[in-house]
């Protein structure tokens, strides 16, 4: 990716080395609950669903956020990718007469308090609608290389863009509608299908960002698209379940198969049109 001349976002909170403050008061989270959430994340389940910590149920201990060190290239890369998503979605919202409320992105080590419960590095990157923040432990990028065999800077950018996609869904009311639909579902399998469509739309939104950003700033280089496709395929539910247990259980899928994730990312990338990301109206995903 060509990001050398791009600006860095000011919406980055660096909590690394702050001790990972834990919630005080309110409802406590048992170690057993956290363990279940980590296992659930391994199979592609949203950890906030397992933790079941509602918005505003906890008073969080204060956590120090500091500026990104000048000699930290990975943190600066993340800040530039976030800035690119801000510019892209800002223009999309402006075109429809709206202002884009950009999310914060939190860098942390190990664990950190969030409005969705205790954020754990083992959960992987995630978005918390309660505080409208994206959380990431940068050690995940090493896991992408070693466990998922998905290296590359554009693969890393795709991860951020996907979580920002969840922010778009949150502020436009899509996430709330999906949650209501899941609660009204007649079966767990049906509920999971709503979750799959939500995740695939976030993949499509990530593709829209890549299309628009490249058109504006020519950030893509040879091999970048292949990196993102590899990453999307590596974190498909079928791939993760086969890696974990040797077989896949389609009714338990919550994020989509490798083929579905690459298809919808490419849908956004090839069109740059958010209207092409309506996974909920599509008869086939």
> What pLDDT score does 60 carry?
52
pTM for the whole structure: 0.85
pLDDT of residue 2: 93
pLDDT, tens only, 216-255: 889 999 999 999 999 999 999 999 999 999 999 999 999 9
| pLDDT tens sequence across 194-218 | 999 999 999 999 999 999 999 888 9
At residue 23, the 3 state secondary structure works out as strand
The answer to whether residues 38 and 120 touch, using CB atoms and an 8 Å cutoff, is yes
Would you say residue 76 has pLDDT above 90?
A: yes
For the cut 60, the answer to whether the pLDDT of residue 157 exceeds it is yes
Residues 158-196 pLDDT 10s: 999 999 999 999 999 999 999 999 999 999 999 999 999
Q: For helices 73-95 and 188-217, give the axis angle rounded to 10 degrees.
A: 90
Distances (CA, A) of 147 to 1, 32, 59, 160: 22, 25, 35, 18
Beta bridge partners of 23: 60
Express as a percent the part of the chain with pLDDT over 70.
84
Please give the pLDDT value at position 40. 46
Query: What is the rounded CA–CA span in Å between residue 132 and residue 23?
Result: 18
In the predicted model, what is the mean pLDDT of residues 99-114? 97
Average pLDDT, the chain: 87
Please tell me the predicted confidence (pLDDT) of residue 52: 42
| Token reading at 39 | 């296992």
Q: Which regions of the chain does DSSP assign to beta strands (E)?
A: 12-14, 23-24, 59-60, 104-107, 111-114, 117-120, 126-128, 133-136
């Amino acid at each position: 990716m060509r990001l050398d001349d791009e600006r860095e976002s000011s919406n980055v909170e660096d909590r690394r080395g702050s001790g990972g403050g834990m919630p005080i008061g309110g409802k406590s989270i048992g170690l057993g609950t956290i363990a279940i959430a980590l296992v659930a994340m391994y199979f592609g389940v949203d950890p906030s669903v397992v933790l079941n910590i509602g918005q505003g149920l906890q008073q969080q201990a204060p956590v120090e956020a500091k500026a990104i060190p000048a000699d930290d290239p990975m943190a600066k890369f993340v800040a530039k990718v976030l800035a690119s998503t801000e510019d892209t979605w800002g223009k999309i919202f402006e075109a429809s007469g709206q202002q884009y409320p950009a999310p914060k992105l939190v860098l942390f080590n190990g664990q950190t308090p969030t409005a969705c419960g205790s954020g754990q590095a083992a959960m992987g990157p995630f978005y918390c609608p309660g505080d409208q923040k994206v959380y990431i432990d940068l050690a995940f990028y090493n896991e992408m290389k070693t466990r998922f065999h998905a290296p590359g800077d554009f693969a890393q950018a795709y991860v951020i863009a996907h979580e920002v996609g969840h922010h778009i869904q949150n502020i436009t009311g899509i996430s709330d509608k999906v949650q209501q639909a899941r609660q009204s579902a007649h079966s767990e399998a049906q509920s999971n299908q709503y979750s799959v469509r939500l995740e695939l739309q976030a993949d499509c939104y990530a593709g829209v960002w890549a299309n628009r950003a490249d058109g504006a700033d020519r950030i893509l280089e040879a091999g970048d698209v292949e990196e993102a496709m590899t990453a999307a395929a590596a974190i498909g539910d079928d791939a993760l379940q086969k890696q974990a247990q040797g077989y896949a259980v389609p009714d338990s899928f919550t994020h989509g198969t490798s083929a579905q994730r690459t298809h919808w990312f490419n849908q956004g990338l090839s069109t740059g049109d958010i209207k092409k990301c309506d996974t909920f109206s599509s008869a086939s995903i």
